[in-house]
Amino acid sequence: MDGWVSGIFVYIVVWWVALFAVLPWGVRAPDHPEPGMASSAPVEPRMGRKVIATSILALVIWLVIFAIDRSGLISFRDMIKDM
């Protein structure tokens, strides 16, 4: 990541991937769904907690990616050149 723009872009991509990993956490379907509602709709989705958990998880993953990039352990630029 050469600049702050690419860092933000990577964080946004990681955030969305993490969101799809966090969404199923704690999901409970209703025993008797109301008429007209999907039987798989969660009782309490708790999206606020999931957004916070996603942001923290994405930050941790982003920091790992940032550390790998800065350390030179894996060169993402060399990987692109080899494609």
Q: pTM (2 decimals)? A: 0.80
Confidence of residue 1 (pLDDT cuts 50, 70, 90): low
* Domain that residue 56 falls in: 4-81
Per the model's pLDDT, the better-predicted residue between 59 and 40 turns out to be: 59
Query: Cα–Cα distance between 48 and 15 in angstroms, integer?
Result: 14
Q: What is the pLDDT of residue 81?
A: 82
pLDDT single digits (tens) 6-17: 999 999 999 999
Count of domains for the chain: 1
User: What average pLDDT does the chain have?
Assistant: 90
- Residue 54 burial by CB count (10 A; 0-12/13-18/19+): exposed, middle or buried? buried
pLDDT tens by residue, 51-73:
999 999 999 999 999 998 888 88
